[in-house]
């Protein structure tokens, strides 16, 4: 209720009061027939005034509505299975181990081996190159691209294949500069004597790649 409406109510109440006031030589009227409407009017006026005064307080004390933004949805992490086929003899006498990764949804992958190196007689990092010479491959559901590793002179030591996965191929190093930088980083963070080889090496690879990249390890041993 605004000030103008409140003023009109007050004026109406005063007019009723004037009309109801008896003249000195007139017979007094029955109080019940005239006082009741006036009482109701004054009661209504008092209630309206009280409501008008209380409204600002209610507005100030009422909790403000909270605006809730749209829920942020995060895509489920891509599940990747890696099948391992132990070293098989080829026609030229070499032994080749095969790995076949498969995913339930589209993803880009980078395969990294922590594998035996005959030159230093030790384990070292090696990036897998696909048939087209690139280090990054894209996998769609139903595909099982083959990752091969020559294990002809490899002794019976535990090695690890680590597959880095991302929804965006741009998250994975593909240029010569980027891949060299990754190898340099891995050489710096390689754990000396990990308690759990797969978990420790996965953590090392993860630390050298963007936070959005997942790393799936697959330990294996050539017998």
Residues 110-134: tens digit of each pLDDT: 999 999 999 999 999 999 999 999 9
Q: In the predicted model, is pLDDT for residue 70 greater than 90? A: no
Own/partner long-range contacts of 122-128 (Cβ < 8 Å, ≥24 apart) = 123/157, 123/159, 125/183, 125/186, 125/187, 125/190, 127/179, 127/182, 127/183
More confident residue, 55 or 2: 2
The pLDDT, as a whole number, for residue 192 is: 79
Residues 130-140 have a mean pLDDT of: 94
C-alpha–C-alpha distance, residues 46 and 9, integer Å = 10
C-alpha–C-alpha distance, residues 188 and 197, integer Å = 16
Closest residue by Cα to residue 179 from 136, 142, 216? 136
Residues 58-74 have a mean pLDDT of: 32
Q: b or e along 188-203 (b: 16 or more beta carbons within 10 Å of the residue's beta carbon)?
A: eebeeeeeebbebbbe
Maximal CA-CA distance, the chain: 138
Above pLDDT 90, what percent of the chain? 53
The pLDDT, as a whole number, for residue 191 is: 85
C-alpha–C-alpha distance, residues 187 and 181, integer Å = 10
C-alpha–C-alpha distance, residues 89 and 133, integer Å = 24
- For residue 179, the tally of other CB atoms under 10 A from its CB is 18
More confident residue, 72 or 160: 160
Q: In the predicted model, is pLDDT for residue 62 greater than 90? A: no
C-alpha–C-alpha distance, residues 143 and 109, integer Å = 12
- Mean pLDDT over each residue of the chain, to the nearest integer: 74
Q: In the predicted model, is pLDDT for residue 142 greater than 50? A: yes
The pLDDT, as a whole number, for residue 78 is: 61
Any idea of the CA torsion for 106, 110, 114, 117, to the nearest 10 degrees?
130
Residues 7-24 have a mean pLDDT of: 46
The pLDDT, as a whole number, for residue 197 is: 79
The pLDDT, as a whole number, for residue 148 is: 95
Structure token pair of residue 151: 């294990």
Residues 8-28 have a mean pLDDT of: 43
Structure token pair of residue 193: 């004597």
C-alpha–C-alpha distance, residues 84 and 88, integer Å = 11
The pLDDT, as a whole number, for residue 223 is: 76
Question: With bands split at pLDDT 50, 70 and 90, how would you rate the model's confidence at 79?
Answer: confident
The torsion angles phi and psi of 140, rounded to 5 degrees, stand at: -115, 160
More confident residue, 221 or 53: 221
Q: Which strand (E) or helix (H) includes residue 3?
A: helix 3-20
Strand partners, 167: none
Question: With bands split at pLDDT 50, 70 and 90, how would you rate the model's confidence at 51?
Answer: very low
What is 88-107 written as a DSSP string?
EE-TTS-EEEEEEEEESS-E
């Amino acid at each position: 209720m605004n000030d103008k409406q409140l003023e009109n109510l007050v004026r109406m109440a005063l007019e009723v009061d004037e009309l109801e006031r008896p003249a000195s030589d007139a017979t007094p009227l029955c109080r019940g027939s005239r006082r009741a409407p006036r009482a109701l009017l004054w009661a209504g006026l008092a209630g309206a005034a009280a409501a008008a005064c209380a409204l600002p307080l209610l507005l100030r004390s009422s909790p403000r509505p909270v605006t809730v933004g749209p829920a942020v949805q995060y895509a489920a992490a891509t599940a990747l299975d890696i099948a391992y086929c132990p070293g098989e003899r080829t026609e030229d006498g070499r032994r080749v181990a095969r790995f076949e990764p498969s995913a339930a949804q589209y993803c880009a992958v980078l395969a990294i081996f922590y594998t035996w190196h005959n030159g230093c007689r030790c384990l070292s990092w090696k990036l897998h190159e696909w048939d087209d010479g690139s280090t990054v491959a894209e996998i769609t559901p139903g595909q099982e691209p083959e990752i091969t590793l020559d294990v002809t002179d490899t002794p019976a030591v535990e090695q690890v294949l680590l597959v880095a996965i991302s929804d965006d191929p741009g998250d994975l190093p593909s240029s010569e500069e980027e891949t060299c930088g990754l190898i340099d980083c891995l050489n710096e963070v390689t754990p000396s004597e990990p308690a759990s080889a797969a978990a420790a090496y996965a953590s090392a690879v993860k630390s050298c790649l963007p936070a959005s990249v997942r790393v799936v390890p697959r330990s294996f041993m050539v017998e």
